[in-house]
Amino acid sequence: MALLFGWMTALLAVAVPIFAVMGISSVIALKARGIDLIAVPQNVFEALDSFALLAIPFYVLAGNIMKVGGISSRLIGLATALLGWMRGGVGSAAILTCMFFSTISGSSSATTAAVGSTMIPAMERKGYPKPFAAATVAVGGELGAIIPPSLPMVIYGLVANVSIGGLFIAGILPGLFIGLSLILTICAMAKIQGFDETSRVAFGPWLRNVVVVGREALIALLMPVIILGGIYSGAFTATEASVVAVVYGFVVGMFVYREITPGDVVRILNDSAVMTGMVMLIVAFAALFGYAMTINRIPHYFGELIGQIAGGPIAFLLLVNVLLFVVGTFMEALATILILGPILGPVAQSYGIDPIHFGIVMIVNVATGMVTPPVAVNLTIASQISGVSMDAMTRPLLVFLAVLTIDVLIISYVPALSLALL
């Protein structure tokens, strides 16, 4: 155990990519125990030989199609029309846009990139401090991992043997709850700090504008309805829904909005292949890392340790939240799920915690990890888009992290928030 985590820590310290960290440390640990290294390609192949994993490339492809095909711009327009009239409305519209786009992309990084390029400059024009604008989009982007369809949910469902469709449905209310809490935070900050002043708008003109913009975005809004409705009704599985999303998005972008050109198709496929390759490398070598942990009986020891410390489900969930917050500061979200999901899931069930509820707790925690430095994918993307350093985003980010911490605790200790729709 010491050898495995020792090498992992050393490699992380010198900024080795996470998939290589897991692969190298696993190989060293297996070799030290005298395990034939033929186990390495066997475990990697078995990890990728899964029909459910087809959802990953298709949801990635669907998200890229939406971004290029004009769907994301129409969702931004609708969110701005709905909330742009109030104090803090542009920042709130950024969060609402992230919520809209999350129902399409399945990825927090894709959501941050798609929304940030438009909404950060728009917020800056309304007087928002640039670090606050960048932090807002980064935090809103985490909803891409919580609101279905969600790639982290697909991964957790596979490693913990939990219904992916059930996780999708369970993620709806927590996603809406977190989105609303972020919107209220932005409105309060706008009032306190005195930015994003607005003039009063009559109800009639506001409603007419919403109807006009909403009509343009209606086709885009139908996509999550089709996906979630199909899964919930049993018309297709979560994996099959990813294919439906690709076909629907392509038809809308190419033939309805007519914003996808033949040249765009090549770029969309290339970007999707690169992102899918990165995700699959993490999945493959995380499986190898999990095998190395099993050989060293780490899950067994870890389960016993938690059992001794936690006297019941309340203390267990608190320990899990603290652990995942700490791990999220230095480990990528999918790697966290792949490594800790198989360990913590069975322990949670032993305490009588619903496996789908616990899955949502893990997903919300790793999503928060996407905005906790130093390893924070969403912050990195927002920083690149805005030109603002991570250090400059720290102050506004602390306010959002305080709100997200409260959200995580509420979701952890109010199971009905996750299970009400099941």
Among 334, 289, 314, 279, smallest CA distance to 157 is for 334
Q: What is the pLDDT of residue 296?
A: 79
- What average pLDDT does range 92-107 have in this prediction? 86
E-strand ranges in 116-250 read none
Q: What pLDDT, in 10s, does the model give residues 170-189?
A: 999 999 999 999 999 999 99
CA 202/CA 167 separation, integer angstroms: 41
Q: Over 80: is that where the pLDDT of 375 sits?
A: no
- What average pLDDT does range 248-257 have in this prediction? 89
CA 24/CA 46 separation, integer angstroms: 18
Residue 337 or 299, more confident: 337
Residue 138 or 277, more confident: 138
> Can you give the residue ranges of every domain in the chain?
50-260+296-419
Q: Over 90: is that where the pLDDT of 419 sits?
A: yes
Q: Is the pTM of this model over 0.75?
A: yes
Preceding amide of 121 cis, omega within 30: no
Buried b (16+ CB within 10 A) or exposed e, 156-187: bbbbbebbbbbbbbbbbbbbebbbebbbebbb
Q: Over 70: is that where the pLDDT of 104 sits?
A: yes
Residue type, 86: M
Among 1, 26, 100, 35, smallest CA distance to 284 is for 26
Q: Is 125 exposed, middle or buried (0-12, 13-18, 19+ CB in 10 A)?
A: exposed
Q: Over 90: is that where the pLDDT of 43 sits?
A: no
Q: What is the pLDDT of residue 132?
A: 94
The residue behind tokens 């990084």 is: 109
Q: What is the pLDDT of residue 283?
A: 80
CA 46/CA 161 separation, integer angstroms: 15
- What average pLDDT does range 246-262 have in this prediction? 89
Q: What pLDDT, in 10s, does the model give residues 106-135?
A: 778 778 887 888 889 888 888 899 999 999
Q: What is the pLDDT of residue 1?
A: 65
Residue 336 and residue 155 in contact, taking contact as beta carbons nearer than 8 Å = no
CA 346/CA 14 separation, integer angstroms: 33
